[in-house]
A and B are shown apart, each in its own frame.
Chain A
């Protein structure tokens, strides 16, 4: 007979979990493994609310195992480190992102691309090597192999920096991989949510010209005046879209709903690259003529490796980049999820775990 989630492991833990596809979260007692030789135990201070958390609690992608404790934008303080741990010591500010394990031996792992390892273990809703399900950051503590822990820079605020652990690396990684970092080039950012707004900030730090492409005209003022975008394109305005044809070197598409790709492809110059980082639950329609006639490409990207995640955090610290957040109490999470479903947040909810997750 399998053990209950409270008894599986030796260390007691408290979090909030969804029990079914309604996605409603509520308090959940469970347990974490003992801190091993390679492990870091983290007391969680803040956890960002990623749209993936919403997809997962509602089983949008069809592979959720309930009860599920989401959360993969975790910032806190190390309380214990194992005997083999050299990079961290107790009281260090640390972060944990979207993964907590990988095979460590395949080509991807050897190239510091653990996120593409075929045996990657995601921070929540994934199986641990011992067969148990793992639980994410909407909880008071987590135990993670040091390889999947990052040092959280001193000059970054822990709350506003939490979303960098997923949103940040998810846009930073493709900017590097697809060569979108040449100052002066023109980047379009489609979708102005958690990912999109961080993409604007990081792109400006690379010296790019940035145009936000959005279906919401109401976001224009903020995009330009607060986030620093150079221009704003309302995707539902045909004449504005027409005048922007063939003007962008690259586009990062952060939109997670199903949406047409043709308008975005026409915005690209010859040799332009459309990188999609959103995960709609249905296929998109890809028109081929624009790809062939303009040697354009569409590529995917999925978070980033651990080395790159640290590099991204250090880059953000250097350029004072953090997310624009709305700090919430743990017990407001369900309201936050409903608002997130309506894109009603500027631009990331972050749970004040340490101050509001009570025993």
Chain B
């Protein structure tokens, strides 16, 4: 007979979980494993709301296991460390992103790309080594293997740092891998949401000239004045698209809805790269001629490895790359999810767990 979530493990925990495909979250008592010799346990102070959380609570990807405690942009303060933990101590400011385990022996893991390990374990909704389901950051405490813990530098406020753990690394990794991190390159960012706005900030910090490509003309002012973008292109405006043909060294495309690739490929210079970090469900049309005639590339990317995530965090601290967040109390989460669905947030909700998550 399976045990209740509250009884699975020795350490009590509480959070908010979705119980069914309505995706509505409500208080939930559960438990966390004892802090093992390589584990770091921490009190959760903030948890970012990623669009993936919204997909998962509604089981849109078909893989959700209920009750589901989402949250993979988790930050807080260390409360206990296992006997073999070297890098962290009680009181440290730390975070956990999208993964809490991987095989540590495959090619990907050996190359510090745990995110591509075929046995990678997600922070929530996945089966852990002990057979129990993982619970994420919409909760009061968290425990994870030291390998998957990230240090948050002192000069980054914790609430703003939280979204870096998923949104941040998701755009930072491809900027580096696809060579779009050199000064004076011209980088396009498609979509100005959680991922897109952080992409603008990182690209600017790396010395790029940045053009935001969006379907919403009303985002232009903020893009230019607040986020620091150099220009703004309304993707439905044919004239604007024409004028920008062949001007971009690379594009980070954060849009996960179906959308045409041809105009974006046209914006690329010869040897340009279009990188998708949002994953539309159905295939997109790929015209061969433009790809070949300009020796262009369309590539994908998914979060990043642990070493790279720490590097990203340190880079963000050094260059003051801080996501723009709307901090909300725990009991606002269902409203926040509804607003997120309508893209009504500038640009990431972050739950103030430390101050507003009350024991059930």
Contact = CB atoms under 8 A, between A and B. Distances in A.
Contacts, number: 110
Nearest to A276: B288
B291 A270 contact: no
B270 A287 contact: no
A280 B288 CA distance: 7
Interface string B295-314: 11111111000000000000
B108 A302 contact: no
Chain A contact-residue range equals 20 to 34
Interface residues of B, number: 36
B44 to A, nearest CB: 28
B177 interface: yes
Contacts of B177: 295
B261 interface: yes
A72 interface: no
Given A276-B291, A278-B288, A279-B289, A298 B277 contact: no
A285 B283 contact: yes
Nearest to A107: B270
Interface string A269-294: 11100001111100111111111111
Contact of B299 (A270, A279, A298): A298
Contacts of B301: 292, 295
A116 B295 contact: yes
Nearest to A290: B300
Contacts of A285: 283-286
B279 interface: yes
A299 B295 contact: yes
B287 interface: yes
A15 B177 CA distance: 50
Given A270-B108, A297-B300, A288 B293 contact: no
Nearest to A269: B107
Nearest to A287: B283
Contacts of A269: 107
Given A270-B116, A283-B286, A295 B296 contact: no
Interface of A: 108, 113, 116, 177, 261-262, 269-271, 276-280, 283-302
Interface of B: 107-108, 113, 116, 177, 261-262, 270-271, 273, 276-281, 283-302
Given A293-B302, A297-B300, 11 more contacts: A271-B116, A279-B292, A286-B283, A292-B277, A292-B278, A295-B177, A296-B299, A298-B291, A299-B299, A300-B292, A302-B295
